[in-house]
Amino acid sequence: MESLIAMIGEHQVILFMLLFTRISGLFAFFPFFSHMSIPISLKTALGLFMTIFLFPLLPATLHVDLNVVSLSLALVSELMIGFLAGLFLTIVLAMLQMAGMQISFVMGFTMASVIDPQTSTSIPLMSQFLSLIGLMVVLAFNGHHQMLLFIVDSLSLVPLGGFYPDQNILAYLARAVTGMFVYGFILSFPILAISLLLDLVFGMLMKTMPQFNLLVVGFPIKIMVSFVVLIAILASMMFVFKKEFQEALNHMTILFVH
């Protein structure tokens, strides 16, 4: 093994290892690529293939000292790029999950939880429904291609092992998390408003008609009306999601601004 490394060159081996680590962050943290239903062996094989494919594009110089501490910090910084960029996009997907949680609450589907195959966590039914449609929208406008291009462009903007977080990233994440709650409420507001209006109507019916059984008649009507409103606004919800996702893709360039 040492003779093979000596023949290829230490610098080339370290560059290959750092590039493989950066690409591994794509499959570990980015939406769709990090899906739990994709076997780890397939992710590893795709990461190795992309590393071999992109390795000729790397500059010949190495900006990392040849010692254990420097190499360890360089590997952590490469994973940090994938983690932060994936976090930017995951927050946008969480916006749909937040809207789905509020919609599930007013529809009475809070107890109907399912296992999210992407994160292996239990989430409400409507959150899973909106998240899957959101992933379909990402694939429809080639968002997965833009994620791959982000990794390719990062090779020319940030040298391997030379990334470190900046305060601009923390400021953006603070705004993004705030926007996640705001947009989650905005997307679910039509159904929340209709549900509140139905509650007022049912309250007046209960006063005028005491024999009206709210549990038998009211909840099925609320669920039916909520589904009708959801079908009517689903295209608008996905349009807002697409706009925010593309904006998050554009803002990933702040990872390279120091």
Predicted structure pTM score: 0.79
Q: Using one digit for the tens of pLDDT, what is the confidence trace for 120-166?
A: 666 777 888 888 888 888 888 888 888 888 888 777 777 776 677 77
Residue with the two structure tokens 């929208």: 137
Q: Using one digit for the tens of pLDDT, what is the confidence trace for 231-255?
A: 888 888 889 888 888 888 887 776 6
Q: Using one digit for the tens of pLDDT, what is the confidence trace for 162-196?
A: 677 777 778 888 888 888 888 888 888 888 888 88
Give the start-to-end residue ranges of the domains of the chain. 2-256
Maximal C-alpha separation, the chain? 90
Alpha-carbon gap, residue 112 to 105, rounded angstroms: 10
Inter-residue contact 31 to 89 (CB < 8 Å): yes
At residue 122, the 3 state secondary structure works out as strand
